[in-house]
């Protein structure tokens, strides 16, 4: 069963062909980083214009790479939220048209469900139940995942997402957008214990996250650092990047272990763009090993936004006999608990 999965929730136009919810025949991502880079963040108006320009070529490339044509598709899956309304609309209306003209079943997918399930695209995926930490530019949440479609949110960020914190700190340090990979690279040559940035602003028992205090602390430190030659001789930009990254890793690793203990499960998963971070993966792996917890993560190409995870989630919906109609709409907010409502 071959599904075309499409994601246009933010600034990437993605399409993939996945067979039987497992085998990725092709996955194409057209990144808009070049367009948004001068603005230091995603400009929604520009993002939807780019999606309109790119969607048909990206889908055609995915079909060509998979060696199939439209007529070979058994299903269509598209993200309807959460995300930028103008961007989501492009994907949904493209797929609605295709579904109507070609009479192909259509499944609408929650972007967060895509991230939660993305690890199932890998060899030796985890068994249910598990705890999933999704960390991206828009979201930082913990889920108790009991099975396909059975998700309970255990915690979420009360302010910035982890990826957003990386992006903002990169901006403060003048490193450009997006910031995650640049901070990670710079941190390699820095001392992670150079500055003791604050970890927690909320109760230690809470599974929620807060990154705005950390971001403000970095900003205040960089202001002082910029105006003090003495401080500049003692601390490098790499030290700031490494110390900031260490604080984020401390927060994320502490909360995922707390969630695993609270849910009473034996496996944990990290997904989303920030899960590309090697230092984070290493720390989570060590923490899991020390406690006999099994730890899983998707390859970087399935951590960042992609159509394959949407095709996978859509496959299970279509297999369950669920189909979406022409009356479907997009949603900027779409908690996973509302998926089957």
Q: How far is the CB of 340 from ligand KG4 (least distance, A)?
A: 22
In the bound complex, what is the minimum distance in angstroms from residue 302's beta carbon to ligand KG4? Answer: 10
User: Which residues, in sequence order, are CB contacts of 305 under 8 Å at separation 6+?
Assistant: 7, 9, 10, 12, 14, 29, 111, 136, 273
Tell me the HSE value of 119 on the side-chain side, using a 13 A CA sphere.
Answer: 25
Helix (H) or strand (E) holding 33: helix 33-36
**What is the CB neighbour count within 10 angstroms for residue 165?**
30
Q: Which is nearer to ligand KG4, 113 or 184 (CB)?
A: 184
Residues in 296-315 at the binding interface with Zn ion, rule: CB under 5 A: 305
Select 184 or 239, whichever has its Cβ closest to Zn ion: 184
- Interaction of residue 287 with Zn ion, rule CB under 5 A: no
Which range, of 29-37, 266-274, 315-323, 329-337, touches ligand KG4 by CB under 6 A?
266-274
Task: Report if residue 276 touches ligand KG4, rule: CB under 6 A.
Answer: yes
Ramachandran region, residue 203 (left: φ > 0; alpha: ψ -120 to 50; beta: rest): beta
Q: Which is nearer to ligand KG4, 105 or 211 (CB)?
A: 211
Q: Give the C-alpha separation, 244 to 277, whole Å.
A: 13
Among 5, 81, 272, 298, interactor with ligand KG4 by CB under 6 A: 272
x/- binding map, residues 138-167, to ligand KG4, per CB under 6 A?
x------------------------xx-xx
Specify the stretch interacting with ligand KG4 by CB under 6 A; choose among 136-144, 149-157, 205-213, 282-290: 136-144
Name the minimum Å distance from CB 141 to ligand KG4. 12
Containing H/E element for 320?
none
Write the binding mask 117 to 136 for Zn ion: x where contact by CB under 5 A, - elsewhere: -------------------x
Q: What are phi and psi of 76, to 5 degrees?
A: -125, 140
Pick what 314 binds: Zn ion, ligand KG4, none; C-beta below 5 to 8 Å, kind-dependent. Answer: none
Shortest separation between residue 185's beta carbon and ligand KG4, angstroms: 8
Across 33-47, b (16+ Cβ under 10 Å) vs e yields eeebeeeeebbbeeb
> With binding defined as CB under 5 A, does residue 167 bind Zn ion?
no
Instruction: State the minimum distance, in angstroms, from the CB of residue 210 to ligand KG4.
Output: 17
The reply to whether 81 sits near ligand KG4 by the rule CB under 6 A is no
* Residue keyed to tokens 């828009």: 138
In angstroms, the CA 305 to CA 337 distance is 21
Which residues, including other chains, have CB under 8 Å from residue 212's CB and lie 6 or more apart?
Answer: 159, 160, 201
CA-closest candidate to residue 137, choices 181, 174, 175, 173: 181
Residue closer to Zn ion, measured from CB, 136 or 324: 136
Interface positions with Zn ion (CB under 5 A):
136, 305
Interface positions with ligand KG4 (CB under 6 A):
10, 136-138, 163-164, 166-167, 178-181, 184, 272-274, 276-277, 304-305
């Amino acid at each position: 069963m071959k599904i075309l999965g499409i994601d246009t929730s933010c600034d990437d136009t993605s399409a993939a062909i996945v067979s039987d919810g497992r085998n990725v025949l092709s996955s194409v991502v057209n990144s808009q980083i070049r367009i948004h880079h001068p603005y230091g963040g995603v400009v929604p108006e520009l993002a939807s214009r780019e999606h309109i320009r790119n969607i048909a070529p990206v889908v055609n490339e995915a079909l060509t790479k998979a060696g199939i044509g439209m007529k070979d598709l058994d299903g269509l899956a598209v993200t309807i939220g959460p995300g930028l309304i103008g961007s989501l609309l492009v994907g949904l209306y493209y797929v609605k048209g295709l579904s109507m003209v070609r009479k192909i079943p259509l499944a609408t997918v929650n972007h967060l469900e895509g991230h939660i399930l993305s690890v199932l695209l890998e060899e030796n995926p985890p068994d249910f139940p598990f705890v999933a930490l999704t960390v991206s530019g828009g979201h930082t949440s913990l889920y108790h995942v009991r099975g396909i479609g059975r998700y309970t949110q255990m915690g979420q960020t009360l302010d910035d997402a982890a990826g957003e914190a990386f992006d903002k700190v990169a901006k403060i340090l003048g490193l450009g957008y997006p910031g995650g990979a640049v901070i990670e690279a710079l941190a390699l040559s820095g001392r992670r214990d150079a500055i003791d940035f604050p970890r927690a602003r909320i109760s230690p028992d809470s599974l929620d996250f807060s990154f705005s205090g950390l971001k403000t602390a970095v900003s205040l430190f960089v202001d002082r650092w910029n105006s003090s030659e003495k401080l500049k001789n003692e601390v490098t930009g790499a030290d700031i990047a490494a110390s900031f990254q260490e604080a984020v890793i401390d927060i994320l690793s502490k909360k995922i272990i707390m969630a695993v203990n609270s849910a009473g499960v034996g496996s944990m998963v990290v997904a989303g763009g920030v899960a590309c971070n090697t230092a984070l993966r290493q720390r989570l792996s060590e923490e899991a090993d020390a406690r006999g917890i099994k730890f899983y993560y998707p390859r970087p190409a399935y951590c960042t936004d992609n159509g394959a995870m949407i095709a996978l989630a859509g496959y299970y919906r279509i297999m369950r006999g669920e189909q979406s109609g022409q009356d479907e709409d997009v949603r900027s907010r779409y908690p996973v608990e509302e998926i089957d409502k």
